[in-house]
Structure 1
């Protein structure tokens, strides 16, 4: 039967990034946009670290790019 043949055929694997490539948006860019958007709303590095698994340095970098006015410079020894 034709239906049984179709049911036994392996389905092509689809990757998450392939869906975004069809609309011209790389998955990595979407990920960065999501992090920056969350940084704009919360301004909390611990929240970014928990949500996205970022390091302290990465979370701080995203926050400073989203809120350049909050950059206090380096801490004096």
Structure 2
């Protein structure tokens, strides 16, 4: 099952800006998908208004694991 960015934020109880920052930092990986269902070939430069981000269960789990490691290394845990 995949989650869209709003669904991911709601599920993890994080803000959209936190999710986008994690994407920019490389902690959260996703797939940009156009409304036709095809993955975007150039998500960094794509400006299609009909595209959205999707996150697989594996991508979400990898993000949660990376976040836990990051918190431990910063003493926030």
Specify the TM-score bucket, using the shorter chain as the normaliser. Answer: under 0.3
Which structure exhibits the higher relative contact order, with contacts defined as CA atoms closer than 8 Å and separated by 6 or more residues? 2
With normalisation by structure 2, the TM-score equals 0.27
Q: In proportion to residue count, which structure has more helix?
A: 1
Give the structure with higher Rg (CA).
Answer: 1
With normalisation by structure 1, the TM-score equals 0.27
Q: In proportion to residue count, which structure has more strand?
A: 2
